[in-house]
């Protein structure tokens, strides 16, 4: 069968592939410790589930507006105004099937063939694929541990060409856990405004911060920056609602209306009763978010302590999200070979850094229990000792 050329440009998700293999091994009775999934191990908070159940009982099971339930869009707009200092109104918000669809839709609506999208690396693995599917050209901006995995204003300036359309900014970051400071965000905003390009700020991990780190939405820097800013976010990480598939996009009215037209011909509305759970997430108590964040922080400190005690391993301490991105290049193995051998020999699942544009690293998620962290890092240490001989 001859397939469309566009799908030949797209790589399969390594994170999903590793997670699937780990689950299959577990199903065969193998004791696999997985650090692969970017998914909180907590259940969705009870008040959120109760709101969805109530919506079901009230018959909220029919088609809804493609851009989302008006009450949820209004709640998101209020949140953006109050928490992020972004003056978006209800009509500037569109609800999507997870944060992933918000970004996919954006690329489809914003990019023309040949448009360049600047992507700091390491990056979330789906960014370049979404750009390519829209006919755009992903341009990666390399960073490393010495730069804190952050791009500089000079680096951004040097990468901008007449074809540049968009910068993707992800802070806190998947996979590195780094967080841009407010001053660094402001400096990038100045370049973006002067160059008259767009920036999409992926803020899915905004509530998961440590050690006093502060997350600043780039559109809050100034009115000029706001006029160049698009926000992508969702409920998966902060509220442990990964399977609910509720995200959102906020931006200029013309853009949001265009995304609405696209969505009306693809997925239409997001699951109706699930949206009422999202309303409860925003309007209810936020204690659950802080409880999970504190647990992640304890696990972060534990994994960092154990990981950096392994001879040869270097890893910056993350300030946000729930990932570590250690350098394993000293072993002489590429990240795919390293992760395949680690899984087969020691039954520990990690994600190859090559999926994120950094073959010298692997990604470990600490969104799991402390016992698994202790046992898994012990197995990792034994594996590294073996391959480093």
Residue 305 has pLDDT above 90, yes or no: yes
pLDDT grade for 296, boundaries at 50, 70 and 90: very high
Q: How far apart are CA 326 and CA 313, in angstroms?
A: 7
Q: What is the pTM of this model?
A: 0.96
Nearest to 353 by CA among 146, 144, 152, 148: 144
Domain annotation for the chain: domains and CATH numbers: 5-44+287-387 (3.90.1150.10), 47-283 (3.40.640.10)
Q: pLDDT of 100-142, one tens digit each?
A: 999 999 999 999 999 999 999 999 999 999 999 999 999 999 9
Write down the pLDDT at residue 20. Answer: 82
* Residue % of the chain over a pLDDT of 70: 100
Helix (H, G, I), strand (E, B) or coil at 269: coil
Q: pLDDT of 202-225, one tens digit each?
A: 999 999 999 999 999 999 999 999
More confident site: 255 or 388: 255
């Amino acid at each position: 069968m001859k397939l469309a050329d566009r799908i030949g440009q797209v790589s399969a998700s390594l994170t999903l592939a590793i997670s699937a293999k780990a689950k299959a091994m577990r199903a065969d009775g193998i004791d696999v410790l997985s650090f692969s999934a970017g998914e909180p191990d907590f259940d969705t908070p009870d008040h959120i589930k109760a709101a969805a159940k109530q919506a079901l009982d009230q018959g909220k099971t029919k088609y809804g507006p493609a851009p989302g339930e008006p009450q949820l869009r209004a709640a998101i707009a209020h949140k953006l105004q109050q928490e992020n200092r972004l003056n978006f109104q209800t009509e500037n918000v569109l609800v999507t099937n997870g944060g992933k669809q918000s970004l996919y839709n954006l690329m489809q609506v914003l990019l023309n063939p040949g448009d360049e999208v600047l992507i700091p690396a390491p990056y979330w693995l789906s960014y370049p694929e979404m750009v390519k599917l829209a006919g755009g050209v992903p341009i990666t901006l390399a960073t490393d541990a010495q730069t804190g995995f952050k791009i500089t204003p000079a680096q951004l300036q040097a990468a901008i060409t007449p074809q540049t359309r968009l910068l993707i900014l992800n802070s806190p970051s998947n996979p590195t856990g780094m967080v841009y400071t407010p001053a660094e965000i402001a400096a990038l905003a100045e370049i973006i405004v002067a160059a008259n390009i767009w920036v999409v700020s992926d803020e899915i991990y905004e509530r998961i911060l440590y050690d006093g780190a502060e997350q600043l939405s780039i559109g809050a820097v100034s009115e000029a920056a706001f006029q160049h800013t698009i926000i992508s976010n969702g409920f998966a990480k902060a509220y442990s609602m990964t399977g609910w598939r509720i995200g959102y996009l906020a931006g200029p009215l013309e853009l949001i209306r265009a995304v609405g037209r696209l969505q009306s011909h693809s997925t239409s509305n997001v699951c109706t009763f699930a949206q009422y759970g999202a309303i409860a997430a925003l309007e209810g108590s936020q204690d659950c978010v802080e409880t999970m964040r504190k647990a992640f922080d304890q696990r972060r400190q534990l994994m960092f302590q154990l990981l950096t005690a392994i001879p040869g391993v270097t890893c910056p301490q993350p300030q946000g999200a729930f990932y570590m991105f250690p350098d394993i290049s000293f072993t002489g193995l590429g990240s795919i070979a390293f992760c395949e051998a680690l899984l087969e020999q020691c039954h520990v699942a990690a994600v190859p850094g090559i999926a994120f544009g950094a073959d010298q690293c692997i990604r470990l998620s600490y969104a799991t229990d402390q016992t698994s962290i202790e046992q898994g890092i012990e197995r990792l240490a034994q594996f590294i000792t073996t391959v480093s001989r």
